[in-house]
Structure 1
Amino acid sequence: MSDRYELFLTCPKSLEGLLAEEATQLGLEEVREQVAAVRGQGDLETAYRLCLWSRLANRVLLVLKRFPVRNAEELYQGVLAVDWHDHLMPNGSLAVEFSGHGSGIDNTHFGALKVKDAIVDKLRTASGERPSIDKVNPDLRIHLRLEKGEAILSLDLAGHSLHQRGYRLQQGAAPLKENLAAAILIRAGWPRIAAEGGALADPMCGVGTFLVEAAMMAADIAPNLKRERWGFSNWLGHVPALWKKLHEEARARAEAGLARPALWIRGYEADPRLIQPGRNNIERAGLGDWVKIYQGELATFEPRPDQNQKGLVISNPPYGERLGDEASLLYLYQHLGERLRQSCLGWEAAVFTGAPELGKRMGIRSHKQYAFWNGALACKLLLLKVLPEQFVTGERRPSGDADPAAPRSEPARLSEGGQMFANRLQKNLKQLGKWARKEGVQCYRLYDADMPEYALAVDLYGDWVHVQEYAPPRSIDPEKAQARLLDALAAIPQALQLDPSRVVVKRRERQSGTRQYERQGAEGRFMEVSEGGVKLLVNLTDYLDTGLFLDHRPMRLRIQREAAGKRFLNLFCYTATASVHAAKGGVRSTTSVDLSKTYLDWARRNLSLNGFSDKHRLQQGDVLAWLEEDRGEYDLIFIDPPTFSNSKRMEGVFDVQRDHGRLLDLAMARLAPGGVLYFSNNFRKFQLDEDLAARYAVTEISAETLDPDFARNTKIHRAWRFTTR
């Protein structure tokens, strides 16, 4: 066998340049970068050293042969031509990985089967003994890549991916792979900072991957020193004496590194469930004296080993994938920037993010950015120098007689557009606040796309804010739309002088349908609000709508005033807030009908919250079908149907424009003499069937059902009053 080999190192996409530098330092020659890989030349000692010391590679592949392939038979013959007796015993085990396509081989399973057949046929003995297949821990892991008509046949020296160091048996919900974490640390300048005796802190450390990788670099510990099983362990070409020499050298370097004074490396994590798993990972890595993890919120983060110590703050904040994440993440990034400005002056910082726009909201300019891929997600590493001249917000400075060691910073400076939005909110609050206080209104709409470029609805629920973002038209650049949303979210807490944690954001499509009934989350966080003397439960987080349609407030209060002694029917009742108002008004009985069990349970809680239980029926069912079967008589009826419904629990599809005539005829048949039916809906193109006016006394009352908070959006709904002729 040759003493010199072609070596092929795979890595995550975007790490190629760093891996090429590392491999060169570890002895690889003639290094060339490829997509998610590096190739070069080296002897077996170099290959072993790469396995042991590479912090960035996934695999170290030793190329056995390259040969042209035009069809499956040529693939088989090319593999068969290798003298496999130099690599594997006939009673050994193997696994084959196949990638690429072409030459009539477009199925990777078929390609792997042909490679396996060739190896097995070569090693089969006269007695029939042959290698077995073991996909988990084989004696030999073979990789063949088919590329542009050429087969590259390799032996995987690593076995399992090199990013699996063995210390991280427990991990959080969205962990970084160890080699990606190492690459981020290298780009952030940690090797230089560590060599200078600097400190490292991670304010959102999860289970401590950054911390362990940083400590291994600082203590000169080979990342795979503790790995016991390798892809070459049972390879017949393995030279144990050479491997033992390199391994003992690495062990001696680690012992010497750990004997030096430990650097200050600390992590902080708000989630108490991650503290012990993180500490366990640190102990498995043998770094308990170097690395410490503490439970702590970002708000308390203050990395000060002593006043003169400087170093690197590194963080991988959440990116946000759920509906409504924008607000919480914006404020998280703003808060991170605030903590850096207040407590880390003179430090360097590195923020790894899948949401670069949020990174710009920290109030500190990045002096350098690097593109990375975290799996399939494009990310950026933002490098910052925490110095006043880099601050986009107010400078760090002591105040009055305050301790200079406890500086403060000004609130984040709003963009020009954000300041305009804040001004509009404050103007609306001044006008509507007076009306709300006078009328005792606790929940109202403060803003509804008043400025076209900020297409949001902003509703106040006591000291909480519920924000709905209308999806922008396709003609609007998504990046501009996202930037405007973040401008608005930055402005809301400042303009309304409230805690950012009390802002909830959702996205609402401008379309028909029943999306208000679709579950968006599962926090189960209900809060109690008051309206017209009744108490109601709202949920700002779990559904697109909150359980209380603010625009129907005047209608609910009208029903309360007219309800005394009457039998009330509430169709498409949702959370039955109108029924609660009717009960408050002294109704004789209420019947509330809806298809959703979830909302009927919510309705039951609303009634119970106000002490109402007797005489109030909650009926689950398709409203049209229920009306056809019901024979009750009602003095007061309220109908507010969805624009469209195709629930699996109903027959057919309900379309308010098409079906409202039949719906109203069925409901009017249940109306007692002298009774009143109120009908409303929010379909903007809705046209009331003209024939209804010939059968009933119909009066549009839309203008009477809008309070000042919806005066700017008169098309929020339309409403009519029906009586018998």
Structure 2
Amino acid sequence: MPHYPFFATTPKAMEAVLCEELKQLGAANIKPAIAGAAFEGNLATAYRACLWSRTANRILLLLGTFEVKSQDDLYYGVKKINWFEHMRPEDSFAVSFSAKNSEVITHSHFGALKVKDAIVDQMRAKFHKRPNIATDRPDIRVNVHLQGQSAQLSLDLSGESLHRRGYRDITIQAPIKENLAAAMLLKSGWPEIAKAGGTLVDPMCGSGTLLIEAAMIAGDFAPGLLRDYYGFLGWKQHDSACWQAIREEARQRKLAGIDKLPAIVGFDRDRSSINAALTHIANAGLQHKIHVERRDIGDAEPAAGWPPGLVICNPPYGERLGDTQETADLYQRFGEILKARFNGWKAALIISDPELGFRLGIRSQKPVTLYNGALECKLLRMNIEPEAFFIPKAKTAEERISRAVEGSQQPTDDRAGAEMFANRLQKNLKKLARWARQNQVTCYRVYDADLPEFAVAVDLYQAEETWVNVQEYEPPKSVDPFKADRRLAGVLAEIPKVLDMNRENVFLKIRRKQKNTDQYEKHGEAGRFHVVEEDGCKFWVNFEDYLDTGLFLDHRPIRLRIQQEAKGKRFLNLFAYTGSATVHAAKGGAIATTTVDMSNTYIGWAKRNMALNRLEGAHEFIQADCLEWLAQEAAQPYCRQYDLIFLDPPTFSNSKRMETVFDIQKDHVQLIAQAATLLDAKGVLYFSTNFRRFKMDHEALPGLHIQDISAATVPEDFARNPKIHYCWRIQKTCTE
């Protein structure tokens, strides 16, 4: 029997599993490629690959390759093949065409028409009869893949994708393809577990795909045995006797293996999913071999007689199904069930969000990358044993509050500590409330880690009602997390009492060492904004969706100073955040303002703040990387000029124009120099940073008068923490 070159396609990231399968099926010269593998063998090898591969999509018989520099090259390249060797004039055929990086043919439909014309013209010229075009189950299917200028012409021996086993005919929400399910099982060690008699449980089985694929693997059941159509069946060179022998061998192996299946069980809470699973199991001829029942995830547990084995599932990803928090809660609940009821088992599940896997509280092996369609996923594989268990940290304010409140049954020493916190908060409030009334301040800090044991900041926001924003500084690793939670419970319990307010108006944020993009990351989706006032200006604030509320309270004095100095001036606000300094400048009578920030969200927020104050005029909003924008503007021969600039950069940031990470200490000289280039001869630049170890390099900035005004810009409510920020007033020393 002659040997042929073949190519097997598979979903991306499944190439290694495919190559191992091909090796076991007797393929030779296997060479992995992206989303597939080339191999050699005779027709029997190709037939076995079509019948037995659990991970392949298609098996292609390579007919030839040729160069395509024009549309005619494609036509004549296809026409060089003697199609009478492969089909009869009365046969039907279909064409699959794909192109990548081709400048000649970019439309797949046009390419398919060219291929079809070449075949039809050749057959009609010889037999005066043209073959039929049939997209549904043609006698042969021609495949052409054009990569740049190189075309590969093949016969598709599978006819239709091999993942279509033939048992699934009911579509439910978020199905998983059969070959992806098989890859999950193979990578999770199911063949070895099944041989040892281990049980398989899918507690979220949906329409039963994982269950059926598991039974096929354990029962030596060829996945293609249910199919009645292959692309080679109508091929002129098809070896029917060889195929029948291979198929009969597969039938005998199924008969021998199907009665030796271990326990395979599926649960699902949805009645329609269970009905679909039962239908698919019957279609696969596996009635009474797989047990499914309607059961909620909370009721999933192994029966007494089931040997430990594999728990595997395709849970909701949170991409399309359900609420994000609901999905996170499901994973946490699932992890608790695995720990409590499946000790000694193995577990595997496919996820798209690593954070969801973390919620399980079970350490996993190195994740395996797989693709569910175009969605990149990770296959987590775990040993369910106490050594692998951990308690996930709270990731949201709501979760942290919930945990803390649940832990409010506090020991006596914790209750005493909470009372100390309440007394300190009451004392601070009495002093600061008087100061706030006298200065018409409505948003201010009333507590800032005054007691080391209670390392939180408490900010009060007052308008039509009162809100409290609590920021918990991340405790050091030496502090017992449970003790930290109990202390937090005490804080959250005492604040509403001391302030005589609703508990629902107290919001918690966990403040960790920030990455350079944390300021711009969303932490929630509540979308609730509230209006507060400051020195005649109104601002939108948000207590739930972001790490910060939209208003830095410690910058209150510098914003007022900008308002008082802005009349008739051109104002530039760099790293503008929500544009609060711009609002103050406009309120103070600035004739023009420019607001620059890298975030579309915050630029939009700044515009809303301006609109809230009904401030109209020459107000420009620019969404850009401030480092890049400033460098470009400063390099212009006739750069923009401003009378008043506020520069409040982050401590660290990434910038495409720099080879390294922006560091305020290392790079402040260049930053201030560039900003000063945009400063009018008599203008003023206010530079601020909250980097506590910052040192201004005066000597590296000649020609500038730099005055430290930090003490004057730290407000009364932050007096306990004078290093909350540093601020300088900068002017050019040489004026014209």
Question: Shorter-chain TM-score: which interval?
Answer: 0.5 to 0.7
| Corresponding position of 1:17 | 16
Q: Deviations over 1:539-584 (max 9, x none)?
A: xxxx99xxxxxxxxxxxxxxxxxxxxxxxxxxxxxxxxxxxxxxxx
Contact 1:368 1:384 in 2 (8 A): no
Could you say what secondary structure the match of 1:302 adopts?
A: coil
CA contact (8 A) 1:59 1:156 kept: yes
Q: Percent identity?
A: 41
Determine helix, strand or coil for the equivalent of 2:276: helix
Say whether the 8 Å CA contact 1:346–1:385 is kept in structure 2: yes
1:431 aligns with 2:494: yes
Task: Rate the CA distance shift 1:8–1:509 in 2: closer, same or farther, 3 A.
Answer: farther
Rounded to whole Å, the distance in 2 between the matches of 1:254 and 1:77 is: 46
Q: Match of 1:32?
A: 31
**Residues 272 and 158 (structure 1 numbering): CA distance in 2 closer, same or farther, change over 3 Å?**
same
Which has the larger displacement, 167-176 or 41-50?
A: 167-176
The aligned runs of 1:112-151 (5 Å cut-off) are: 112-124=112-124, 128-151=128-151
- 2:325 corresponds in structure 1 to 327
Partner of 1:80: 79
Q: What are the superposed Cα offsets for residues 219-259 of structure 1, whole Å, 9 maximum, x if unpaired?
A: 11000101001111111111111111111110111111123
CA distance 1:44–1:451, shift in 2 (3 Å):
closer
> Residues 355 and 288 from structure 1, CA distance in 2 versus in 1: closer, same or farther, beyond 3 angstroms?
same
Aligned AA (1:9): A
The verdict on how the C-alpha distance between 1:78 and 1:450 changes in structure 2, with shifts beyond 3 A counting, is closer
On the 8 A contact 1:264/1:305 being kept in 2, the answer is no
How do 1:249-328 residues align onto structure 2 when only pairs under 5 Å count? 249-260=249-260, 262-306=261-305, 309-321=307-319, 325-328=323-326
Partner of 2:6: 7
Shift of 1:385: 0.7
Provide the secondary structure at the position in 1 that maps to 2:359. helix
- Cα deviation for residue 326 of structure 1 reads 3.3
CA contact (8 A) 1:90 1:125 kept: no
Give the Cα separation in 2 of the matches to 1:117 and 1:44: 28
| 1:98-117 superposed matches below 5 A | 98-101=97-100, 102=102, 104-117=104-117
| Residues 1:381 and 2:379 aligned together | yes
The one-letter code sitting in structure 1 at the alignment partner of 2:376 is A
Compared CA separation, residues 477 and 220, structure 1 to 2 (3 A): farther
Cα deviation, 1:150-187, whole Å, max 9, x if unaligned, reads 22110001111000111111132111110000000000
In the alignment, residue 368 of structure 1 is paired with which amino acid? K
1:447-468 deviations in whole A, cap 9, x for unaligned? Answer: 33555459xxxxxxxxxxxxxx
Q: Pairwise mapping of residues 482-493 of structure 1 onto structure 2 (< 5 A)?
A: none
One-letter amino acid of the counterpart of residue 517, structure 2 = S
Q: 2:197: which partner in 1?
A: 197
Amino acid at match of 1:241: A
CA-CA distance at 1:330 after TM superposition: 2.0
Q: What do residues 632-651 of structure 1 show as CA deviations (whole Å, max 9, x unaligned)?
A: xxxxxxxxxxx9999xxxxx
- Alignment partner, residue 557 of structure 2: none
Q: Secondary structure at the match of 1:33?
A: strand
Once the two structures are overlaid, the 10-residue window that deviates more, 179-188 or 365-374, is 365-374
Contact kept? 2:352, 2:378, Cα under 8 Å: yes
One-letter code aligned to 1:58: N
> Residue in 2 aligned with 1:337?
335
Whether contact under 8 Å (1:71, 1:103) holds in the other structure is no
Amino acid at match of 1:294: E
Matched, 1:657 2:657: no
Q: Does 1:225 align with 2:221?
A: no
**1:283-682 pair list within 5 angstroms:** 283-306=282-305, 309-321=307-319, 325-393=323-391, 422=485, 426-432=489-495, 434=497, 444-449=503-508, 451-453=510-512, 475-476=517-518, 506-508=525-527, 655-658=611-614
> How much does 1:433 deviate?
5.0
Q: Is the 8 A contact 1:91 1:132 kept in 2?
A: yes
- How far is the alpha carbon of 1:658 from its aligned partner? 3.0
Q: Secondary structure at the match of 1:8?
A: strand
Are 1:56 and 1:180, in contact at CA under 8 Å, matched by a contact in 2? yes
CA–CA distance in structure 2, aligned partners of residues 119 and 507 of structure 1: 60
Write the letter of the residue equivalent to 2:207: V
Give CA-to-partner distance per residue, 1:16-47, whole Å, 9 cap, x none: 01100101111111001111011111110100
Secondary structure at 2:204 match in 1: coil
Look up the match of 1:94: 93
Assess if the C-alpha contact under 8 Å between 1:120 and 1:130 holds in 2. yes
* Distance in 1 between residues matched to 2:321 and 2:94, nearest whole Å: 43
Aligned: 1:46 with 2:45: yes
- Structure 1 portions without partners, runs of 5+: 395-409, 455-471, 486-504, 513-542, 545-642, 647-653, 661-725
Whether the 8 Å CA contact 2:120–2:131 is kept in 1: the answer is: yes
* 1:506 partner SS: coil
Q: 1:163–1:178: 8 Å Cα contact kept in structure 2?
A: yes
Counterpart-to-counterpart distance in 2, 1:16 and 1:360: 27
1:328, distance to aligned residue in structure 2 (A):
1.6
Tell me, yes or no, if the aligned pair for 2:90 and 2:130 is still in contact at 8 Å: yes
SS of corresponding position for 1:47: helix
Q: Deviations over 1:316-362 (max 9, x none)?
A: 21111269833222221111111111111111111211111221221
Instruction: Quote the Cα distance in structure 2 between the aligned partners of 1:300 and 1:373.
Output: 30
Say if 2:496 and 2:503, in contact at 8 Å, map to a contact too: no
What residue number does 2:165 align with?
165
Task: Label 1:509 to 1:76 Cα distance change in 2 as closer, same or farther (>3 A).
Answer: farther
Query: Alignment partner of 2:12: what SS?
Result: coil
Deviation at 1:475, TM superposition (A): 2.4
1:70 matches 2:69: yes
Structure 2 runs not aligned, ≥5 long = 393-405, 408-471, 532-543, 546-604, 617-736
Distance, in Å, in 1 between the alignment partners of 2:162 and 2:529 is 48
Deviations 1:171-230 (A, max 9, x none): 321111100000000000000001111110011111111100000011110001010011
Task: Quickly say closer, same or farther: Cα 1:270–1:130, change in 2 above 3 A.
Answer: same
Q: Distance in 2 between matches of 1:255 and 1:451?
A: 60
In 1, Cα distance between equivalents of 2:321 and 2:20: 41
RMSD after superposition: 3.5
C-alpha distance 128-324 of structure 1, shift in aligned 2 (>3 A) = closer
- Secondary structure at the aligned position of 2:142 is classed as strand
Change beyond 3 A, Cα 1:186–1:324? closer
**Aligned-partner Cα distance in 2 for 1:506–1:111:** 46
Q: CA 1:272–1:30 in structure 2 vs 1: closer, same or farther (change >3 Å)?
A: same
Residue 423 of structure 1: how far off its partner (Å): 5.0
1:677-698 alpha-carbon deviations (Å, 9 max, x no partner): xxxxxxxxxxxxxxxxxxxxxx
Deviation at 1:386, TM superposition (A): 0.9
Give the Cα–Cα distance (whole angstroms) in 2 for the partners of residues 177 and 250 of structure 1.
Answer: 23
How far, CA to CA, are the matches of 1:137 and 1:375 in structure 2?
A: 23
Secondary structure of 2:380 counterpart:
strand
In structure 1, C-alpha distance between the alignment counterparts of 2:512 and 2:530, rounded to whole Å = 19
- AA aligned opposite 1:22: E
Contact 2:96 2:144 in 1 (8 A): yes
Matches within 5 A, 1:200-215: 200-215=200-215
